[in-house]
Amino acid sequence: MDVIHTALWVDDIERTIEFYTEGLGLELNWEFTSDGVRNVYLGGEHGELQCKYDPNGSNKTGVAGGFGHVAIGVESTDEAFEQLCKREDPPVHESPMTLSAIDRRVAFVEDPDGYVIELVERLN
């Protein structure tokens, strides 16, 4: 397993992109929009920062400071999810689902401290 990305909700996506790319030298790796939320991935080969921007101004995270989640790469989202549910019985934010637009299978659970963890399986 690897840490893939950490997600932050941001107020100004263009300013954020400029800060991390021009200011810190990170690469803008890829992006997609889902349910009106623009998701921008910045970083390098060893991990990314996912910046989430809702033009309607909705900060959808429940954690102070705009923290979204930490993504962990797994071989099988379903197996990792089942194993966690058997051992830890974590609060579940989203059961396993396939995101066809980005070719991933994901699930979202909370760790013991209430941080949201995304389990990510790359399908192809």
What order do you get walking across the sheet with 47-53 strand by strand?
27-34, 37-44, 47-53, 2-9, 67-73, 116-122, 104-110, 92-99
Percent of the chain topping pLDDT 90: 52
Q: Which of 31, 48, 79, 118 is catalytic?
A: 118
| Judgement on whether residues 61 and 90 belong to the same structural domain of the protein | no
Q: Could you confirm whether 118 is annotated as catalytic? A: yes
CATH of the domain at 32: 3.10.180.10
| 3 and 58 within one domain | yes
Token digits of residue 100: 């066809």
- Whether residues 17 and 47 fall in one domain: yes
Residue 88: band (very low, low, confident or very high) from pLDDT cuts 50, 70, 90: confident
- C-alpha 71: how far from chain center: 5
pTM: 0.74
Q: For residues 7 and 26, what is the distance between their CA atoms, to the nearest angstrom?
A: 15
What average pLDDT does the chain have?
A: 88
Q: Do 87 and 46 reside in the same domain of the chain?
A: no
pLDDT (tens digit per residue) in 37-77: 999 999 977 889 999 999 987 665 554 567 889 899 989 99
Question: Whole-angstrom Cα distance, residue 75 to residue 29?
Answer: 22
